[in-house]
Structure 1
Amino acid sequence: MRQLGLVCGLVIGLLMGTSVRAEVTITPDVVYGHKSGLAMTMDVFTSTENANGAGVMFMVSGGWYSRWQPPEQMQGRFKPLTDKGFTVFAVRHGSSPKFSIPEAVSDVRRSVRFVRLNADRFKIDPQRLGVFGYSAGGHLSLMLGTASDDGDPAASDPVERVSNRVAAVVAFVAPTDLRIMVKDAPDRLDAYARFPALDLDLKLAEEDSPLVHVTPDDPPTLLIAGDKDDLVPIEHSRTIHAAFEKANVMSRLIEVAGAGHGFRDEDARRSTESMVEWFQLQLAP
């Protein structure tokens, strides 16, 4: 479940720890929390000419591995969003195999709380936050859409007092039901043995399956999947789409004919356009 890049990265200059182009400012390694003596970080990509006040959070995750790379190399994949004025937050979570899926879910929930708490700093509207990701990143995006909360007003940490709800979700080739993927699942695909993050019991798998948490108050959600995906079969997207429809949640499923676990060329271009259009529609001022 590797993370998929949509466009080639752009090389830009460095200035006092912040990378600058005429159109976008990159603020690297913003710390949104700590655990196990380590900092949890995100990179922020801000449109400098046409910012629209909305934020989109990207889940840096493939197979629930969350790897660092220079933000200058990541900027290209966010260009379709920053060109439309969105501020993009590339969020890294505690990575497999050291950290589990439940821990990754907890991390990305905190990242939303942090961004919302610091909305003035990032010059965004805290009520106009979207999230997207590919594969495992799509799973985490759907968990934010279906299993969020309003925060704990009694928490000593001010970040934990803030809501982690999002206003729109786009999930590419996303697992939606971990109960059929983890070690104890009967008839699970052999390929899943390669992913230590799926070494969960069925109870934890249920708790972190977006399909289980669908309710009528979920945000508008766009699902994009290939109908020939043999790693995360399209039934994952079809099933949760049906659950959204039953709950009267605004949802759309785009099935990419002939595509597997990832898109190329025209399929990649069209799916990216659909993602940007979705966020424009749902996060417009």
Structure 2
Amino acid sequence: MASFWNQGLIILSLWMGLQHAVTAADSTVKITPDVVYGHKDGLAMTLDVFTPSENANGAGVIFIVSGGWYSQWSPPEKLHGMLKPLTDAGYTVFAVRHGSSPKYGIPDAVADVRRSVRFIRLNAKQFGISPNRLGVFGISAGGHLSLTLGTTGDDGRANDPDPINRVSDRVQAVAAFVAPTDLTIMVREAKDRLPAYDRFPALDLDLAAAKKLSPLLQVSADDAPTLLLAGAKDDLVPVSHSQNIKAAFEQTQVPNRLVEFPEAGHGLPPADMKQAIQEMLSWFNKHLAQPST
């Protein structure tokens, strides 16, 4: 079985292959690279901003750059190839990198992406977006982190000395591709754990931490509307991850949709990826594109 990160690269490559070539000279978008949203161990945590040059709709979408809870840098001009459907539709997109495995674990990644949402919301006016129209998506581990934001967002801590931490990290819509939702069946203590998970140091968690970091176990009625996209033949993150959290969303009446691709594994083939992108755009258009009344 391929790693989360390698599978993530496969998915990104397929996605980018569906788009026209994008270069730094592309006039449809303004790219602002390496915006610092925080610091850790003396290092900057960064995101790239992709702002439509025309027809911006005032909504923002966060892309969590993560596979296997590894988060790597790539030139933003290249990354725009996969984000272009969103910017063409008027969304301002934020590509967020978190502290990467193996140096940093899942709790660190969760804290980082939380901070990125707070930072973006605090600076919404500067970015030309509404602070109440933020979506998030990710692939595999990025999908897990997106679901974590969608199921555990808070309103900020009013008395925190850091102004960023006083701001909410709630999102208004989620799209999660082939996402793990239950870490309790993936950590070392888990019975019948898949051998492939031994290769992921980020999963070196005790069961208590795994429960806290499992979106499936955090579902509540105030969660963000969530789109789930999954391969029925995924042998790395079985489709049951998405099916189970869908059932939890149904029980709590959280708006949701699950799209299963019958012949797909962890990496969606081009035709399925094209459909998945359209499903994501439709979901964000429904829940983000129009200003709140």
Q: Does 1:7 align with 2:12?
A: no
Deviations 1:196-238 (A, max 9, x none): 1001100110110001110001111000000000000000000
Displacement of 1:284 in angstroms is: 2.1
Q: Which residue of 2 aligns with 1:112?
A: 117
- Aligned match for 1:254, one of 244, 259, 268: 259
- SS of 1:7's equivalent? helix
- Aligned match for 1:92, one of 71, 91, 97: 97
Deviations 1:132-172 (A, max 9, x none): 00000000000000011100011110000000000000000
Displacement of 1:11 in angstroms is: 4.4
Taking every aligned residue pair, what percent have the same amino acid on both sides? Answer: 62
Q: Does 1:55 align with 2:55?
A: no
Q: Give the structure with the higher percent helix.
A: 2
Counterpart CA distance in 2 for 1:63 and 1:206 is 18
What aligned pairs does 1:204-219 form with structure 2 within 5 A after superposition? 204-219=209-224
Counterpart CA distance in 1 for 2:275 and 2:109 is 29
- SS of 2:164's equivalent? helix
Q: Does 1:71 align with 2:76?
A: yes
Q: Which residue of 1 aligns with 2:30?
A: 25
- SS of 1:244's equivalent? helix
Counterpart CA distance in 1 for 2:26 and 2:258 is 35
- Aligned match for 2:154, one of 132, 149, 152: 149
User: Paired residues, what number?
Assistant: 279
Instruction: List structure 1 runs of 4+ shifted beyond 4 angstroms.
Output: none
- TM-score, normalised with respect to structure 2: 0.94
- SS of 2:16's equivalent? coil
Displacement of 1:186 in angstroms is: 1.2
Q: Which residue of 1 aligns with 2:134?
A: 129
- Aligned match for 2:88, one of 59, 68, 83: 83
Deviations 1:45-83 (A, max 9, x none): 000111000000000000000000110110010011011
Counterpart CA distance in 2 for 1:41 and 1:132 is 17
Please list every run of 5 or more consecutive structure 2 residues that lacks an aligned counterpart in the other structure.
none
Counterpart CA distance in 2 for 1:262 and 1:275 is 16
Counterpart CA distance in 2 for 1:258 and 1:165 is 34
- Aligned match for 1:181, one of 183, 186, 207: 186
Counterpart CA distance in 1 for 2:29 and 2:72 is 23
Deviations 1:27-53 (A, max 9, x none): 000000001111000000000111000
Displacement of 1:262 in angstroms is: 1.4
Q: Which residue of 2 aligns with 1:162?
A: 167
Please list every run of 5 or more consecutive structure 1 residues that lacks an aligned counterpart in the other structure.
14-19
Q: Which residue of 2 aligns with 1:280?
A: 285
Counterpart CA distance in 2 for 1:150 and 1:107 is 16
- TM-score, normalised with respect to structure 1: 0.96
Q: Which residue of 2 aligns with 1:16?
A: none
Counterpart CA distance in 2 for 1:86 and 1:274 is 15
Deviations 1:244-264 (A, max 9, x none): 000000000000011000112
Root-mean-square deviation over aligned CA pairs: 0.9
Counterpart CA distance in 1 for 2:205 and 2:50 is 34
- SS of 2:44's equivalent? strand
Q: Does 1:39 align with 2:48?
A: no
Counterpart CA distance in 2 for 1:183 and 1:41 is 31
